Amino acid sequence: PYPFYTKMLQDHPAYFLKERNTWIISKHEHVQFILKSPMFIREQSRLEAEPVVMDPPRWRNINELVQDWMLFRDPPTHTRLRSHVAYAFTPKTLEQSKPRIRSIAENLAADMLKETNPEVIHDFAFPLPVMVIADMLGVPQEDRNIFKRWSNSLARLLDVTFLSEEQLDEGDLAAAEIRDYFRQQVRERQKNPKEDIISEIIHVENKEHLLSEEELINNCILLLVAGHETTVNLIGNGMKLFIEHPESYKLLHHQPELIPSAVEEILRYESPVQFTNRTAGEDILLGDTLIRRGQEVFVSLGAANRDPAVFSDPHHFDITRKKNRHLSFAAGPHFCIGAPLARLEAITAFQVLLKQYPALRFSGPTPIWRNQILFRGLEALHVKM
């Protein structure tokens, strides 16, 4: 698997794409260094850099949405946005959502059992994270379907390098609708706070005055977008790996306490997010490679996760792997804020599925990967008990 990554790691750990003035970096040590270093910056959003979206009036809503996302900002703005959201996104919030996550997973799995030809992505992995985050944000039950559609159109924006104009138009419409929707939700909670993350963020805001209303709205939307497709992929990729490695699935049956370590191995072996990017803020020597100020750097999380310098037998799927230092949630200041939630969702999902599906095999067409570069996930996965 991943022969291209193996070749990159062996022969071209820093590969220069001249026509794009861009580096592709694959060594674990270097990827980690770049993600942690303030010399590599974010505040040149890819949307602005891409000629296809240089038409701000046409994609105004996308531009306004993503320019506030902590994901694309550097300190001090990044620190301000992130610390505010982190106030609401605490271990306590997570603990409180545990029973809801379990009941959502159990209901979805039970419905899937009734299907003659269940399809894990559509019937289970896709709805689970969107229902969980909608629940945490306090979105009413009846709005869940439209939420799924928005999330779908917006997640593609993260893969912006490869978007068509039609997809950008669709994303722009979704951005406009979801921002209006959240504006209304925020204003309602300003009058009548509820027990949800939005109310919690507003509560902190009233004391700290850190965010504008638009920043608050846009970063709530980021929680949905950043946490949806990524978690779908983690669950879907895990199920595929379990079918391909029945011995691991069997072992988990007897030792369910290994599920958390299996989740880490799925994250490493089939990283849901394959890369991220930064821009060199100054001339930097990385090993013996000189990266010039202004050059773009793509760091390959997927390749770094298979670097033999860090992982013994990297192409072996080993759910008992110790000290699994994968970079699937990145590292440094942008380390995934939703990592504990994603882990909890995946652990719960596999606990529930293991119980209801003691043995699995593929049924129907061979699973195919979605045609994307940023995200690694399946189009569909038909299973049989």
**Shortest reach from residue 31's CB to ligand HEM, in Å:** 11
Using the contact rule CB under 6 A, the part of the chain among 189-197, 224-232, 250-258, 364-372 near ligand HEM is 224-232
Examine residue 231 and tell whether it contacts ligand HEM (CB under 6 A). yes
**CB-nearer residue toward ligand HEM: 118 or 338:** 338
Figure out which of the listed residues 328, 367, 376, 382 binds ligand HEM, where binding follows CB under 6 A. Answer: 328
Figure out which of the listed residues 151, 230, 279, 348 binds ligand HEM, where binding follows CB under 6 A. Answer: 230
Figure out which of the listed residues 201, 259, 273, 291 binds ligand HEM, where binding follows CB under 6 A. Answer: 273
Using the contact rule CB under 6 A, the part of the chain among 13-21, 46-54, 279-287, 333-341 near ligand HEM is 333-341
Site mask, ligand HEM, residues 126-165, x = CB under 6 A?
Answer: -------x--------------------------------
Figure out which of the listed residues 62, 105, 154, 222 binds ligand HEM, where binding follows CB under 6 A. Answer: 222
Examine residue 272 and tell whether it contacts ligand HEM (CB under 6 A). yes
Examine residue 220 and tell whether it contacts ligand HEM (CB under 6 A). no
**CB-nearer residue toward ligand HEM: 9 or 225:** 225
**Shortest reach from residue 384's CB to ligand HEM, in Å:** 26
Examine residue 241 and tell whether it contacts ligand HEM (CB under 6 A). no
* 77 Ramachandran zone, left/alpha/beta (phi>0; psi -120 to 50): alpha
How many angstroms separate the CA atoms of 363 and 340, rounded?
32
Amino acid at 64: E
For residues 352 and 103, the answer to whether their CB atoms sit within 8 Å is no
**Shortest reach from residue 174's CB to ligand HEM, in Å:** 18
Figure out which of the listed residues 223, 280, 344, 360 binds ligand HEM, where binding follows CB under 6 A. Answer: 223
3-state SS string over the chain? CCHHHHHHHHHCCEEEEHHHCEEEECCHHHHHHHHHCCCEECCCCHHHHCHHHCCCCCCHHHHHHHCCCHHHCCCCHHHHHHHHHHHHCCHHHHHHHHHHHHHHHHHHHHHHHHCCCCEHHHHHHCHHHHHHHHHHHCCCHHHHHHHHHHHHHHHHHHHHHHCCHHHHHHHHHHHHHHHHHHHHHHHHHHHCCCCCHHHHHHHHHHHHCCCCHHHHHHHHHHHHHHHHHHHHHHHHHHHHHHHHCHHHHHHHHHCHHHHHHHHHHHHHHCCCECEEEEEECCCEEECCEEECCCCEEEEEHHHHCCCCCCCCCCCCCCCCCCCCCCCCCCCHHHCCCCHHHHHHHHHHHHHHHHHHCCCCEECCCCCCECCCCCECCECCCEEEC
Residue nearest to ligand HEM (CB): 338
**All residues at 6 or more sequence positions from 135 whose CB lies less than 8 Å from its CB, including other chains:** 97, 100, 104
**Shortest reach from residue 144's CB to ligand HEM, in Å:** 16
**Shortest reach from residue 16's CB to ligand HEM, in Å:** 21
**Structure token pair of residue 4:** 């291209």
Figure out which of the listed residues 27, 28, 30, 82 binds ligand HEM, where binding follows CB under 6 A. Answer: 82
**Shortest reach from residue 203's CB to ligand HEM, in Å:** 19
Using the contact rule CB under 6 A, the part of the chain among 163-171, 218-226, 237-245, 308-316 near ligand HEM is 218-226
**CB-nearer residue toward ligand HEM: 329 or 359:** 329
**Shortest reach from residue 191's CB to ligand HEM, in Å:** 26
For residues 203 and 186, the answer to whether their CB atoms sit within 8 Å is no
Using the contact rule CB under 6 A, the part of the chain among 92-100, 174-182, 207-215, 337-345 near ligand HEM is 337-345
> By the criterion CB under 6 A, which residues form the site for ligand HEM?
70-71, 82, 133, 222-223, 226-227, 230-231, 234, 272-273, 276, 328-330, 334, 336-338, 341-342
